[in-house]
Amino acid sequence: MTLIATDVDDSIEKLSSKLSAELARPTHAIDPYFYRSHLVHERELEHLIFRSWIYALHASEIPNKGDYQLLEIGEDSIIIARDDQGELHGMHNICRHRGAAVCEAPCGNRSTFVCPYHGWVYNLDGSMRAAREMHVSSEFDAQDHGLKKIRLVNYMGLVFINCDPNAVDFIGPLSNLDKPLGAYQLASAKVAHKKTYHIPANWKLVLENYLECYHCATSHRAYAKMHTLKDLEEKVEPVVNAMLARSDAVTGVDGMSTSYRKIYLEAEGFGACSYTSRYGLFDGYLTGSRDGQPVAPLMGDIQGYDGGAGDYQMGPLTFMLNYPDHCVLYRFLPRTLTTTDVEIVWYVNGDAQAGVDYDVEDLIWLWDHTTQEDEYIILRNSKGVNSRFFEPGPYHPEFEATLQDFVHWYLHTLRQSLPNQAAS
């Protein structure tokens, strides 16, 4: 864990002043205060993270009744479980008696969740089964003391949760991705590998790095030689347009070249970002691998390599980069003020067999390699922004446009959370 000095003079008034200053320079990187403040971190969790739709797991990871996984966000733990009827449920991992965690192992199979402290027992859907000796209390009603439920949706096998009971609908915004994303048949896809990278830096630095490709040409040589996203649009327009013109025909998917963009402040509802576009690979490269050549069978309904890759965003913190032969999902979760968990999930065709149809090391090489490079530059970025002498510079108008969209949403949301802004 990276240690930073605590601001003993931090306050809502100081936060308000810092937010006002940011509004005066909207095209510049944000003040280091927003990466260092414990007050800001707590407000981020309450007003941004726990009100947003977040990828939890793939439904195939808990296929049987009683299967569960834990999801850790900040200091909170969430249970995703499959009940006796096969339905999925999201619940806070907090006993309704005095708060002990009712589940410790990160995954497994249970018939019930039992609090190890005083023995309260919960069903797989979170409802209370038994509260030891509480019958002596005339005021106690077991129906009122089930585990706190969390909103959950299953979209093409991708399971998303939202801790806000009043969260906006997410299936509607996601439906705009149906044609291009549906071609990969993710509901029947296989999780070939997943890995969590524990980055000792503030979550915004980690996410901001992902949202821009200004650094790609200098920091990611393997990625940059294949992907046109590392160049200005005007430079790669012929390559990208040629790919888009053939995409639907070559892949055999009507709508593979679809574009849709409603993210952050333009999202259909808070924390319900929905985005897709298809961008080109340079000539000679077919997929994202060490040499740009296929590493797995074609996904789902896809019939050929069009020289493109599908870019997706689902919520503020979840992204996918989908090649014809495999898909790569990224999820960013804050854990503390100075630590972030980045989970990457690699998907292949559901019928593919490891060691026969694909080699795991070959499959994951590019994005595992790229993420380790990202960690290197993020840590140096973190060291710089935590310096008292850091002065934020201007964003690049094209390469950092999506990053600016995130920052504007972030600042707007924090400003709306202030007591004197709640009614505005």
User: Which among 77, 71, 74 is positioned nearest to 95, based on CA atoms?
Assistant: 77
Supply the pLDDT for residue 119: 95
The beta strand positions in 86-203, using DSSP E, are 88-92, 107-109, 113-114, 121-122, 128-130, 149-155, 158-162, 190-199
Q: What is the mean pLDDT of residues 144-150?
A: 95
Supply the pLDDT for residue 9: 85
Tens digits of per-residue pLDDT, 78-104? Answer: 999 999 999 999 999 999 999 999 999
Supply the pLDDT for residue 157: 98
Tens digits of per-residue pLDDT, 229-249? Answer: 999 999 999 999 999 999 999
The token pair that represents 206 in the structure block = 């980690």
Name the CATH superfamily, with its identifier, for domain 1-53+169-424: Naphthalene 1,2-dioxygenase Alpha Subunit; Chain A, domain 1 (3.90.380.10)
- The yes-or-no verdict on residue 423 having pLDDT over 60 is no
CA distance 320 to 331: 9
The token pair that represents 58 in the structure block = 């793939």
Q: Given this chain, do its domains 1-53+169-424 and 61-154 carry the same CATH topology?
A: no
Cα-based distances in Å from 203 to 48, 87, 198, 222: 12, 32, 11, 25
Alpha helices (H) along 183-324: 203-210, 216-219, 221-224, 233-251
Average pLDDT, the chain: 96
Tens digits of per-residue pLDDT, 162-185? Answer: 999 999 999 999 999 999 999 999
- The yes-or-no verdict on residue 422 having pLDDT over 60 is no
Tens digits of per-residue pLDDT, 315-329? Answer: 999 999 999 999 999
- The yes-or-no verdict on residue 2 having pLDDT over 70 is no
Determine the Cα angle at 123 with ends 122 and 129, to 5°: 60
Supply the pLDDT for residue 142: 83
Cα-based distances in Å from 319 to 210, 311, 332, 344, 357: 9, 8, 9, 10, 25
- The yes-or-no verdict on residue 210 having pLDDT over 50 is yes
Element (H, E) at 43: helix 38-47
CA distance 203 to 343: 13
CA distance 232 to 214: 9
The token pair that represents 218 in the structure block = 């200098």
Tens digits of per-residue pLDDT, 112-145? Answer: 999 999 999 999 999 999 998 888 898 989 889 9
User: Which among 205, 199, 194 is positioned nearest to 344, based on CA atoms?
Assistant: 194
CB count in 10 Å sphere of residue 172: 12
Q: What is the mean pLDDT of residues 12-41?
A: 95
CB within 8 Å of 221: residues ≥ 6 apart: none
CA distance 235 to 221: 18
The token pair that represents 193 in the structure block = 């590998």
Tens digits of per-residue pLDDT, 53-73? Answer: 999 999 999 999 999 999 999
Tens digits of per-residue pLDDT, 40-50? Answer: 999 999 999 99
- The yes-or-no verdict on residue 18 having pLDDT over 50 is yes
**Please, which pLDDT band fits residue 7 given cuts at 50, 70 and 90?**
confident
**Please, which pLDDT band fits residue 373 given cuts at 50, 70 and 90?**
very high
CA distance 137 to 132: 11
User: Which among 210, 232, 236, 234 is positioned nearest to 367, based on CA atoms?
Assistant: 210
Specify the residue for token string 């892949």: 251
Tens digits of per-residue pLDDT, 306-358? Answer: 999 999 999 999 999 999 999 999 999 999 999 999 999 999 999 999 999 99
CA distance 86 to 89: 10
Chain-centroid distance of CA 176 in Å reads 18
- The yes-or-no verdict on residue 1 having pLDDT over 80 is no
Element (H, E) at 273: none
Domain ranges in the chain are 1-53+169-424, 61-154
**Please, which pLDDT band fits residue 25 given cuts at 50, 70 and 90?**
very high
Supply the pLDDT for residue 134: 87
Q: Around 413, how many Cα atoms within 13 Å sit in the side-chain half-sphere?
A: 25
Q: What is the mean pLDDT of residues 141-163?
A: 96
The correct answer on CATH 2.102.10.10 for the domain covering 61-154 is: yes
The token pair that represents 406 in the structure block = 């995130």
Q: Are 68 and 107 in contact (CB under 8 A)?
A: yes
